[in-house]
Structure 1
Amino acid sequence: MKIVKTINSEIFRSYDLRGVVDIDLNADVMYTLGRAYATFLSERRIKESTIGRDNRLTGEEYSKAFIQGMNDGGINTIDIGLSLSQIVYFSSYYFQIKGSVMISASHNPKNFNGLKLGVGYSDTMITEEIQHLRQIVEIGQYSEGKGTNRSEDIFSAYKTDILKRFSLKKKWKIVVEGCNTGSGVFYPTIFRDAGCEVIEQNCIPDGSFPLGVPDPTEIKVLERLAKRIKQEKADIGFAYDTDGDRMSVVDENGSIIWMDSIVALFAQDVLDLLP
């Protein structure tokens, strides 16, 4: 792998990096971005980073390239493999390190990929920091070193941490629509261990996304989830995107519970904790 001199500036967005595979992104671009992120972290005296990825077809290749870039830039890495964004955020607390990387293009089509980059605990890059990363690439002066890489599976620790925070008063019957993403690996396990009966739908990961764009807010996704809920006489259903941070909810009648109602429920919980 080699450093590339120019990268399409349009992939540097407000809260993440996202581009088209083989047009904006390839292994050399990801290696270069790894070198740039290593430089960014080194400027802040951060020496370690975790890294996870979704199940896109380019995910494993891009992850290896980005890790190599960070290692060559002097950053030690912990590869947590197939993951979700929230598990990557959790990894910072678990390992007590501020660097974190999620290789994902969220709910975008299969020919996209991208990066979410951490700068602290539950703190990801925003516009100013992402533009600084772009400037590092443009200047082309990178930190150097001999970082190491190791692999760790932290899903069990994440699941334990989640499950200790609540208990269910009944055994819910749940449909999980995985949209053929990594979310279909993790969420059914969490729900089952919480005591739910889980019906899995499209939970086998397939980075070609044979059913279309992995966006849980798409009407066709909601329709097939609602249909299965009524068939199974389930209590509720959830659909997720590739990195698990976008969700749709359908009730027992097949009706969509819109996000403003869900946010209101979350707000009630937050206000109970922080009045």
Structure 2
Amino acid sequence: MFPPPKETLAPMSADFESQPMIKATGFREYDARWLFPDEINLTGMQALGLGLGTLLHERNAAHIIVGHDFREYSQAVKLALINGLMTAGVRVVDIGLALSPTAYYAQFACDVPAVAMVTASHNENGWTGVKMGSGRPLTFGAEDMARLRDIVLGGAAKSQAGGTYEIVEDMAAQYKADLTNRAAIAKKLKAVVATGNGTAGIFAPPVLEALGVDVIPLHCELDYTFPHHNPNPEDIGMLHAVRDAVLASGADIGFAFDGDGDRCGVV
């Protein structure tokens, strides 16, 4: 059982390594988002998992899909969250590196009610967060997030037996097959596909190619330093890069995907 998290802890201290730190403002209306490790530490992420697990038990939904986006620290953050979930007696299904839509798809493919996707979405490096839901196909709204915040920050999370861990290694392939088996593009298209070196770089190009699109990849290699620009279709630098590539290649269209693949800008 964790004590109520601290709002701040001194970095490089024994307390920072052993006590949960969670900034209250990270609990937003529809998801959670923090600067890591300035506003939440790994022990804080464990406490979040324990609190989320407690909430899932309240809703008879203690079975959850968990995935993470491509950032230097996302896997460590996810594993801390999983530790807390399992301590709360939740059955965890880990789909590994994933897009947010892949995690939502996995809820149906694996017949699992809940989801926790570790991602900072389109935010810049240094951010982390979790998109959550306890009953497919819906994700958390304001009341859900308020209840989770109260459990976690109030130190009301409960540990119990029954937590398990399972890895599903081929969820990305399953999702790709589902997308490409049910769709067809009648007109031959040439498309610039930009992902800002984020997670969508290993998913979007092969899916579009399987649909018959002539793909011109732009910054699709995974690189968590995001050397060109942030993977954010609202970033003017990303849109200008896509525009330039479309004009230079004679492409019909350009796609700009965000860091977890649930947002796309079109040129």
TM over 0.5: yes
- The unaligned stretches of length 5 or more in structure 1 are 251-275
Residue 148 of structure 1 aligns to which amino acid in structure 2? T
Residue 111 of structure 1 is matched in structure 2 by 126
Q: Deviations over 1:214-257 (max 9, x none)?
A: 2112111111111111211111110011111111101xxxxxxx
Q: Deviations over 1:134-163 (max 9, x none)?
A: 110133132322411121121121112212
1:4 and 1:29 in contact (8 A); partners too: no
- The unaligned stretches of length 5 or more in structure 2 are 7-21
Structure 2 matches for 1:208-247, cutoff 5 A? 208-247=225-264
Give, in whole Å, the separation in 1 of the partners of 2:218 and 2:5. 44
Residue 18 of structure 1 is matched in structure 2 by 33
1:192 paired to 2:202 = no
Q: Deviations over 1:187-210 (max 9, x none)?
A: 001001111111111111112212
Give, in whole Å, the separation in 2 of the partners of 1:96 and 1:148. 16
C-alpha displacement of 1:5: 2.4
Residue 135 of structure 2 is matched in structure 1 by 120
Name the SS of the counterpart of 1:114 in structure 2. strand
Give, in whole Å, the separation in 2 of the partners of 1:3 and 1:99. 25
Give, in whole Å, the separation in 1 of the partners of 2:136 and 2:152. 25
Aligned length, in residue pairs: 250
1:151 paired to 2:151 = no
1:248 paired to 2:265 = yes
1:64 paired to 2:76 = no
C-alpha displacement of 1:4: 5.7
Give, in whole Å, the separation in 2 of the partners of 1:206 and 1:180. 5
Given the two structures, how large is their TM-score scaled by the length of structure 1? Answer: 0.87
Residue 95 of structure 1 is matched in structure 2 by 110
Residue 273 of structure 1 is matched in structure 2 by none
1:48 and 1:99 in contact (8 A); partners too: yes
Name the SS of the counterpart of 2:82 in structure 1. helix
Give, in whole Å, the separation in 2 of the partners of 1:45 and 1:249. 41
1:165 paired to 2:182 = yes
Give, in whole Å, the separation in 2 of the partners of 1:192 and 1:213. 24
